[in-house]
Structure 1
Amino acid sequence: MPPRERLPALSRRVPPPGVFAGLEEQEALARLAGGELEVRGRLADASNATLYAVVREGGAGAQDGREVACVYKPVAGERPLWDFPDDTLARREVASYAVSAATGWDVVPPTVLRDGPLGPGSVQLWLTDESSRAPGERAAAPGTPDEDADPDLQDAEDAEDADEVVLPDPGAGLVDITALRTAREGWFTVLRAEDGLGRPVALVHADDERLRRVAVLDVVLNNADRKGGHVLPGWGGAVHGVDHGLTFHVEPKLRTVLWGWAGDRLRPDEREVLARLAAELDGGRLGELLSDLLTVEEAVATLERVAALLDADRLPRPRGSRTIPWPPF
């Protein structure tokens, strides 16, 4: 397939605060944590077990209970990594949501740690926007079984009543790979390369306030895997980030496609948020929560990153040879 010639149009609507997929944040958290979790399918492209599921009010037997779609990542489906401790990705997902919630930027969708049909794991609200059809309207399938999947997960893949759902548009119209040689106004070029046929392509992202907040949060989280496909559209023009399992390492591991603001001075509102975040991490409720979800060393390193960011008063520049995740989408 030839690379696209045009960049998508940008939407700059201001999303309502604290609303995810049409739900108020606290309502979403309550509904994700309660009720019966029922697996409907699997996102086969994910490297770890990533299951499409619903939480039904009143339990699985309720006929008139409302359903909330979600992404369930059981600890049992996590593949070992050489640089992250085993069986910790779900907790990192929840910790990332906690930090995002403390900023007030609404980057990470509501996420809880709870038990499910395949054991404990993270459960995150499924993202939709107003233009998306509801799950069950028989559009695009969540995915096909992975040949290397854990046999214990096969029930999730073989369910006869699995919904077919509309997957959110990766990149949210703000991150793209294009054939344009020069980025248009309002876009940053992060990387120039060639496709499989030797044609020039560029990895680009928009100069957009919503996306910049994702970039700042990633520095705090030490996100080692901010792909373009992990930026998704939300309700009311919101832009969210997902897939935060590779975060909070004590060593510098920032790998992202959002380098357009590298070296930029922090804005006054960003400094205000980061100062508040530092206070919450240093003896506040957020610091206690991270110490429960992560190691003490990882929680302390998070506070140190925020302090260093405030001291530098600039967003970091790429360092080393592995600064962009692969693949970038």
Structure 2
Amino acid sequence: MNADDTTEGRPAPADFDGIDPAEGVDLLRKGDLTVRGRLTVASNTTLYCTVSDGDRSAACVYKPVTGERPLWDFPDGTLAGREVSAYAVSEALGWSVVPPTVHRVGPYGEGMVQLWVHGDTTVDLVELSRRTDHRGLRRMAVLDAVINNSDRKIGHLLPTPGGHLYGCDHGVSFAEEYKLRTVLWQWQGQTLTEEALQALSRLGSRLRDADDPLSVELARHLTGPEAYAVRARVDLLVHHGIHPYPAPDWPSVPWPPV
């Protein structure tokens, strides 16, 4: 462990209405979705829902594909599929950076459904985004490098009372071309932690196996070149052993950053 990797929390049922994260995936897949309202600040249709199977119930977010606006730089696939892919990569790394997320049919057709994170509203997100001593934040920076996240804003950070940190809104990730755009550049050029290098090496091995469940899941939602680019980014991270730098010809921070 590096000296600046001291802050850590673990996923907990309290983050998701008392639902264990592993159980949450099953609930999201099989439970009945009831729309309670719409998050109007989102640029694409984002619905606040409850998901219940009679015995268990939890709040969640549902983003139907029918509510997605076309993007010129993401002409293939769906934003929902990329959100699910981000969760799959997060779980493969073993870090649970992304809340439990599934792809399923809801009241308005297929889309992504993600457990609602009950975050710690006392945390100053701007100050959090600047920290260098937060293990979860640094893990998030590595995940973003792998999935080529082009929209990591401060408002996408979801710290919980127990100390674990989640991130949301990964729909504009996985582009084939390098488009990393984030507020988390404080480690650029620094050596990756041993933990990160080991996790990335394991991830790379799984991505090179076309029959691995992770590869199969990504193939459902990404184009062939996009899936190849994920493997290439992982290999580059392991080979160079450092956090990436911003692209010289691409905005390095999303706008607005919050």
TM-score normalised over the length of structure 1: 0.71
Query: Who is 1:27 aligned against?
Result: 23
Query: Who is 1:325 aligned against?
Result: 254
In structure 2, do the counterparts of structure 1 residues 87 and 296 end up closer, same or farther at CA, with 3 Å as the change threshold?
Answer: closer
For 2:118 and 2:11, the matched residues in 1 are separated by 16
Which amino acid is the alignment partner of residue 42 of structure 2?
A
Q: Could you list the runs of 5+ residues in structure 2 that have no partner in the other structure? A: 1-5
Q: Map residues 267-306 of structure 1 onto 2, 5 A cutoff.
A: 267-283=193-209, 284-306=212-234
Which amino acid is the alignment partner of residue 173 of structure 1?
D
Whether the 8 Å CA contact 1:15–1:235 is kept in 2: the answer is: no
Which amino acid is the alignment partner of residue 228 of structure 1?
I
User: Deviations for 1:52-91, whole angstroms, at most 9, x for unmatched residues?
Assistant: 0011213xxxxxx432100000001001111002661000
Residue 235 of structure 1 deviates from its aligned partner by: 5.3
Residue 16 of structure 1 deviates from its aligned partner by: 2.7
Confirm or deny that 1:39 pairs with 2:44: no
Q: Map residues 307-326 of structure 1 onto 2, 5 A cutoff.
A: 307-320=235-248, 321-326=250-255
Whether the 8 Å CA contact 1:100–1:107 is kept in 2: the answer is: yes
More displaced, 77-86 or 41-50?
Answer: 77-86
In structure 2, do the counterparts of structure 1 residues 86 and 311 end up closer, same or farther at CA, with 3 Å as the change threshold?
Answer: closer
Whether the 8 Å CA contact 1:109–1:124 is kept in 2: the answer is: yes
Query: Who is 1:70 aligned against?
Result: 60
Confirm or deny that 1:111 pairs with 2:40: no
For 1:235 and 1:29, the matched residues in 2 are separated by 21
Q: Map residues 1-329 of structure 1 onto 2, 5 A cutoff.
A: 14-17=8-11, 20-21=15-16, 22-58=18-54, 65-85=55-75, 88-129=78-119, 172-176=123-127, 205-207=130-132, 208-234=134-160, 236-283=162-209, 284-320=212-248, 321-329=250-258
Residue 288 of structure 1 deviates from its aligned partner by: 1.8
Which amino acid is the alignment partner of residue 90 of structure 2?
S
In structure 2, do the counterparts of structure 1 residues 35 and 305 end up closer, same or farther at CA, with 3 Å as the change threshold?
Answer: same
In structure 2, do the counterparts of structure 1 residues 294 and 41 end up closer, same or farther at CA, with 3 Å as the change threshold?
Answer: same
For 1:35 and 1:23, the matched residues in 2 are separated by 13
Whether the 8 Å CA contact 1:175–1:206 is kept in 2: the answer is: no
For 1:269 and 1:17, the matched residues in 2 are separated by 18
Residue 236 of structure 1 deviates from its aligned partner by: 1.6
For 1:16 and 1:255, the matched residues in 2 are separated by 27
In structure 2, do the counterparts of structure 1 residues 25 and 322 end up closer, same or farther at CA, with 3 Å as the change threshold?
Answer: same
TM-score normalised over the length of structure 2: 0.90
In structure 2, do the counterparts of structure 1 residues 86 and 281 end up closer, same or farther at CA, with 3 Å as the change threshold?
Answer: closer
SS at match of 2:149: coil
User: RMSD in angstroms over aligned alpha carbons?
Assistant: 1.9
For 1:269 and 1:13, the matched residues in 2 are separated by 14
For 2:208 and 2:124, the matched residues in 1 are separated by 37
Whether the 8 Å CA contact 1:75–1:87 is kept in 2: the answer is: no
In structure 2, do the counterparts of structure 1 residues 316 and 230 end up closer, same or farther at CA, with 3 Å as the change threshold?
Answer: same
Residue 26 of structure 1 deviates from its aligned partner by: 1.7
Query: Who is 1:197 aligned against?
Result: none
SS at match of 2:162: helix
Q: Name the structure where helix makes up a greater proportion of residues.
A: 2
Which amino acid is the alignment partner of residue 240 of structure 2?
A
